[in-house]
Amino acid sequence: MPPSILLTSRVPSSVLTRLKTVGQVELATDHLTPAALQERVSGKRALVCVT
């Protein structure tokens, strides 16, 4: 099973394409509270958070 990756903001399409070659990408562009972020990241192998 490929690793699961959570993105908390939009990234350039080239970055998204590359990430999709190494794992399952979940995009969460809505504002997440700390509790919601903790829930969404549970079970993920990576978190990409760009500010």
- The answer as to whether 1 is a domain residue is no
- The answer as to whether 25 is a domain residue is yes
- The answer as to whether 6 is a domain residue is no
pLDDT tens figures, 12-26: 999 999 999 999 999
Number of neighbours of residue 6 by Cβ within 10 angstroms: 21
pLDDT tens figures, 1-51: 899 999 999 999 999 999 999 999 999 988 899 999 999 999 999 999 887
Short-list 24, 27, 32, CA closest to 11: 27
Q: DSSP assignment of 1-51, as one string? A: -PPEEEESS---HHHHHHHHHHSEEEE--S---HHHHHHHHTT-SEEE---
Q: How far apart are CA 38 and CA 51, in angstroms?
A: 17
- The answer as to whether 29 is a domain residue is yes
- How many domains does the chain divide into? 1
- The answer as to whether 18 is a domain residue is yes
Query: What is the extent of the structural domain holding 34?
Result: 12-40
